[in-house]
Amino acid sequence: MKRQLEPNDLMLNSQRRANRAIFSAVAAGFVMLAVAAGAVVWAFERSQDYSELVTHTVEVEAAVANLNRLNERIEAARRGYLLESDPRFLETFDETAVEIPVQISRIADLTSDNPDQVKRITRFRALTDRYLSLLKDSIADKQAGGTGVTAASLLDEEDIIIVQELRKLSDEMGLAERRLLIAREASQRTSVLISTVTAAISALLLVLVAFGTIWATRRTLRALTATGLELQSLNEDLESAVTARTAELQRANAEIQRFAYIVSHDLRSPLVNVMGFTAELDAAIKPLSELIDKVEEQAPGLVTEETRYAVREDLPEAIGFIRTSTEKMDRLINAILRLSREGRRVLSPGAVDMNTLAGEVVDSLQHRIDENGVTVETEPLPTVVTDRLAVEQILSNLVENALKYLAPDRPGRITIRGRKNLGRVLIEVEDNGRGIDPRDHERIFDLFRRSGSQDQPGEGIGLAHVRALAYRLGGTISCESALGEGATFRLSLPTALAPQQGANT
Amino acid sequence: MSQHQTVNIVMIEDDEGHARLIEKNIRRAGVNNPIRHFLEGTAALKHLFDAPDGPAKNGPALVLLDLNLPDMSGIDILQRMKADNSPLKRTPVVVLTTTDDKVEIERCYDLGANVYITKPVNYETFAQAIRQLGLFLSVIQVPDPDMD
């Protein structure tokens, strides 16, 4: 048995390992999938960030360009007014002078996150303020009746420097944004590359895992099929082994029964002699005793006390003991003979209505049931395909036992019940009698063994007979009981007994 | 029984005790015919067929036959006696044995046994059975053997 288990264990182990590998591979595959999805999401977010940044840069550039345009326009308006004193130029100048700080504030807002740009815009704002006040001064000079040209030309020196500086600053700002964008683009490219590579590696691993899993699953399936086939053949082997073993057991059983038959048979012969000659001896006591009587009467001196005692006491006593012993031996031999004969009987299975059978058993014992004031209750019983005579003997023995071992302090109650259970039929005989010590539950089924106080006649054969019959019917018998608490005998039989092929004598 | 010759009883029984008890009880039934006892088959066959004072050569006989013999089965003796060309085929054979096997009983009657009795284990029954057999023996007619 052990040798058979080892390869099985190995196989199980390798199977378990394979299962674990497949499981981890599938889990790894899912992790890969999650990683790839994460990478894609990350890359998408990065590109979205990037487009936002591009928009931002373009916006800043556009704002800067706009500011430059406004600066040029205000300059143009001032020059126009200084030259022609047309109030329309003044109008444009005023409008633009309002717009410029607004535009600067917008740029400041857009670039508030960049300290360099903030520094530049602050400077820009200061320069613009100065520039605007210079321009406003020249306008005011013109309005006051001056030529304005002088003022303008006087101012030109500073004006040009400021304008140059403003232009430089705005260029710088644009450039800074552009540089930033380029740097961001590079990092964006790197991140996209990283995510692409991650996704690609994940996809590759996924494919590998998929192939590996498919391969492993196929291998496991193949192993499973092989195991199934092996199991089937083992099963078949087992069946044939069981058949062979059963045949062997039946042969051994038949041999034991033959042996029991021969032994009991051969024991009878000498027993006939022992009993026969004991009877002859017994018969011989009568004339002897008469002789003693006569001698005592006619010549009392001839009879010693010893002779009288031998003939009147010793001989009858010895003969009595020989008698009871041989009678007991005779009963035992007969029991063995009966058991072995029962074992040699060919069973003839047929459908047995257990209700009818139980009724018959109870009827046959009705006299004793009434005598002892016992109540017998029979619950509905299933039908069994088995040997009728054997089941009848079993049930009869069990009910008889229940009747025999009543508890003296309460009225007897016997219940016969039965049910079908997993392809077998259970028949129970329950009583409320004196019960059986749990230590004796096995022993009571042995030949010539009894339990409890030996106040009832019997040789300890009934239950041995019951068990032998139960085994022959392919069944088992068990006992459940405690001292003083009644007993339940449970007979388990196959629902259908296979017909026998012949007598196993 | 035969008017001229007394019927000899041939008892083939391997157990001396049984033989003695059988004889005693037959005598108690008032049967006084001579009884020849054999413990084994070979000697019994020799007496039956060849002895000058045996049944085949000399006068009618009745055979009490036990089946369990040390050297052969009583069935062999029965077969020899009841064979077609046997001078003893009409000689009554009472099979007296411990076996109560159905097959064995049938076989003995098939072979021509006249009576089959199972020895009861209980002595009283045994003694009674033998006494009844004795009574039976005292009234049955036994033919003379074929001596042609």
- Inform me whether the C-beta atom of residue A201 falls under 8 Å from chain B C-beta atoms: no
Structure-token pair, residue A286: 């009568």
A26's CB contacts (< 8 A; 6+ apart) are: A209, A213
Residue B127 pLDDT > 50, yes or no? yes
- In this prediction, residue A346 carries a pLDDT of 81
With CB atoms and an 8 Å threshold, state whether B98 touches A268.
yes
Question: Chain B contacts of A270, Cβ < 8 Å?
Answer: 15, 17
Calpha distance A314→A306 (Å, rounded): 10
Calpha distance B8→B21 (Å, rounded): 18
pLDDT band at B13 (very low <50, low <70, confident <90, very high): very high
Question: Chain B contacts of A334, Cβ < 8 Å?
Answer: 121
**How many pairs of residues across A and B have Cβ atoms under 8 Å apart?**
46
- Return the DSSP state at A11: H
The segments of chain A whose pLDDT lies below 50 read 1-5, 502-505
Give the minimum alpha-carbon distance from A306 to chain B in angstroms, rounded to a whole number. Answer: 30
Q: Under DSSP, is residue A138 helix (H, G, I), strand (E, B) or coil? A: helix
Question: Chain A contacts of B24, Cβ < 8 Å?
Answer: 280
- In this prediction, residue A363 carries a pLDDT of 92
Calpha distance A148→A137 (Å, rounded): 9
- In this prediction, residue A149 carries a pLDDT of 57
Reported as type and span, the H/E element at residue A342 is: helix A315-344
Question: Chain B contacts of A330, Cβ < 8 Å?
Answer: 121-122
- In this prediction, residue A2 carries a pLDDT of 42
- In this prediction, residue A38 carries a pLDDT of 84
With CB atoms and an 8 Å threshold, state whether B123 touches A334.
no
Residue B7 pLDDT > 70, yes or no? yes
- Inform me whether the C-beta atom of residue A273 falls under 8 Å from chain B C-beta atoms: yes
pLDDT band at B5 (very low <50, low <70, confident <90, very high): low
For residue B66, what is the nearest residue in chain A, using CA coordinates? A269
Residue B69 pLDDT > 90, yes or no? no
What residues of chain B have any CB closer than 8 angstroms to a CB in chain A? 15, 17-18, 21, 24, 68, 98-99, 119, 121-124, 126-127
Range A88-112 burial, b when 16+ CB lie within 10 A, else e = ebbebbeebbeebeebbeebbebbe
Average pLDDT, chain B: 84
- Inform me whether the C-beta atom of residue A331 falls under 8 Å from chain B C-beta atoms: no
Task: Tell me the residue type at A471.
Answer: Y
Residue among A473, A445, A468 at smallest CA distance from A257: A468
Residue B78 pLDDT > 90, yes or no? yes
Interface test with B, best of A257, A273, A338 (most B CBs within 10 A): A273
With CB atoms and an 8 Å threshold, state whether A272 touches B18.
yes
- Inform me whether the C-beta atom of residue A269 falls under 8 Å from chain B C-beta atoms: yes
- In this prediction, residue A194 carries a pLDDT of 81
Look at domain A29-225 and name its CATH class: mainly alpha
Calpha distance A114→A122 (Å, rounded): 12
Structural domains of chain B in order of their starting residue, each with its CATH number? 8-139 (3.40.50.2300)
Instruction: Tell me which of B124 and A221 has the higher pLDDT.
Output: A221
- Return the DSSP state at B119: P
Give the minimum alpha-carbon distance from A417 to chain B in angstroms, rounded to a whole number. Answer: 38
Q: Under DSSP, is residue A453 helix (H, G, I), strand (E, B) or coil? A: coil
Please give the average per-residue pLDDT across B32-61, as a whole number. 86
Question: Chain B contacts of A503, Cβ < 8 Å?
Answer: none
Interface test with A, best of B118, B123, B126 (most A CBs within 10 A): B123
Residue among A418, A480, A25 at smallest CA distance from A215: A25
What's the pTM value of the predicted model, to 2 decimals?
Answer: 0.50
CATH number of A347-494: 3.30.565.10
Domains of chain A, by residue range, sit at 29-225, 252-342, 347-494
Q: What is the CA radius of gyration of chain A?
A: 61
Residue B114 pLDDT > 70, yes or no? yes
Q: Under DSSP, is residue B15 helix (H, G, I), strand (E, B) or coil? A: coil
- Inform me whether the C-beta atom of residue A345 falls under 8 Å from chain B C-beta atoms: no
Residue among A470, A389, A480 at smallest CA distance from A424: A470
* DSSP states along A201-217: HHHHHHHHHHHHHHHHH
A370's CB contacts (< 8 A; 6+ apart) are: none
- Return the DSSP state at B120: P
Reported as type and span, the H/E element at residue B40 is: none
For residue A330, what is the nearest residue in chain B, using CA coordinates? B121
- Give, to the nearest 10 degrees, the angle between helix A2-84 and helix A115-143: 10
ipTM over 0.85: no
Calpha distance A204→A39 (Å, rounded): 14
